[in-house]
A and B are shown apart, each in its own frame.
Chain A
Amino acid sequence: MAKSLSVSVVSADQQVWTGEVTMVVAKTVEGEIGILAGHEPMLAILAAGDVRLTLADGSKVLAQAEDGFLSVDNDVITIVARKAELVGSK
């Protein structure tokens, strides 16, 4: 079992989602990026699109983060956007 990442998705006026995940797939201005535990510290600008969070039990949470950025630091991931919302899970 891989180590987990703690993720929080925040928008300007509230915290949208927070929890432990195993993998984050986000779309940055450079292209899609997948992040697992132990990733090097990073700051990236997000492009319009969904952020996919894979939970430990295999289920997925989709969040939309427009106009924001993603920071990775010691397995703590923060997805920050002016407007962020959950668009569903499967």
Chain B
Amino acid sequence: MGAQLRVYRQKIKSAQTTKKITRAMELISASRIQKAQARVAASTPYSRAVTRAVSAVATYSNVEHVLTTEPEKIERAAVVIFASDRGLAGAFSSQVLREAESLSELLRGQGKEIVYFLVGRKAIAYFNFRNRASERIWTGGTDQPQFETAKEIGEALLETFLTDYADGGVDEIHIVYNRFVSMVTQVPEVVRLLPLEVVEGVEEPGDNKVLPLYEFEPDVETVLDSLLPVYIESRLFNAMLQSAASEHASRQKAMKSASDNADKLITDYTRLSNNARQSEITQQISEIVGGADALSSAKK
């Protein structure tokens, strides 16, 4: 067998093995998207209920709370980045990191210091490679987020938020994550988590109705105190679930195009190797014919 032919056969084989892997990953992601989407849907009643409750407090009372009041001067901001643990998901992690970078630029332009909270190994690798510091990191389970993790992140964020600037606290918190729009579109999104701006889902009291008397038990401050952390957690958990669904969708897309590319490579190399084999045979025939000719002419 000619050397050329052997090289082509090797390349075909390697493309075939790669294709097997990417195909398997594609199928796995495809089946997990459904689950991830179902989890987003299942957590919706909770976040809706929490949002409505917070809106109710915000609408029917005039309490000033430390989490909702805008600080006079924002000196330091925290940015929470939700990336993935594993790569091979197309632009998933890089687009969220790019979004975070442009947000950082904006915040720095406003004269704010920035501290980072990272979720997912890819974000951490990105920061380590550039020798940049981060405040806290969480890894593991970005593709199947647990509520406990959201709770932990929420607590850590609240603690930093409630600390004074002089002691290393922050005055505002942004989160950057991939929002799941559809199977083909995932948009990186920036949301300011704290101080809170609760506007969505407020049920406007009708024009002719008097503002209903809302009763808070034990009192407004206590209700807000326990409600707002819950609200933050639910926002974080929602971001994590969205990000997980996006991760699967974007991995499926990336793996599908990888499998398609492998297919194309295999076809191309098969053609080339057929060519090589054919020219080898042609060469052999002409050698035999040439040899026979030489022999028969020598006999004469």
Interface residues of A (CB under 8 A from B): 8, 10-15, 28-30, 33, 40-45, 69, 71, 73, 78, 80, 82
CA distance A41 to B230 in the complex (A): 20
A38 to chain B, nearest CB (A): 12
B298 at the interface (CB under 8 A from A): no
Contacts A44-B216, A82-B230 hold; do A12 and B147 have CB atoms under 8 A apart?
Answer: yes
Contacting residues, chain A, for B147 (C-beta < 8 A)? 12-13, 82
Residues of B within 8 A of A45 (CB): 217-218, 222-223, 226
A30: which B residues are within 8 A, CB to CB?
Answer: 217-218
From the candidates A10, A69, A82, name the one contacting B223 in the complex (CB within 8 A): A69
For A83, the closest partner residue in chain B by CB is B147
Q: Enumerate chain B interface residues (CB-CB to A < 8 A).
A: 39, 42-43, 45-46, 49-50, 52-53, 56-57, 60, 147, 151, 203, 212-218, 222-223, 226-227, 230, 233-234, 237
Task: Kindly list chain B residues whose C-beta atoms are within 8 Å of the C-beta of A82.
Answer: 147, 151, 230, 233
CB < 8 Å: which of B203, B216, B237 contacts A43? Answer: B216
B151: chain A residues within 8 A (beta carbon): 82
Query: Is the Cβ of A43 less than 8 Å from the Cβ of B42?
Result: no
- Interface pair A80/B215, CB less than 8 Å apart: no
Beta-carbon contact of B217 and A80 below 8 Å: no
Which residues of chain B are near A69, meaning CB under 8 Å? Answer: 53, 223, 226-227, 230
Contact between A41 and B56 (Cβ–Cβ < 8 Å)? yes
Cβ-defined partner of A42 (8 Å) among B39, B45, B49, B217: B217
Q: Could you show 12 A-B contacts with beta carbons less than 8 Å apart?
A: A12-B46, A12-B233, A13-B39, A13-B147, A15-B45, A28-B217, A29-B217, A41-B214, A42-B216, A43-B217, A44-B217, A80-B53
In the docked arrangement, what's the CA distance between A71 and B227, Å? Answer: 11
Q: B230 contacts A10, CB within 8 Å? A: no
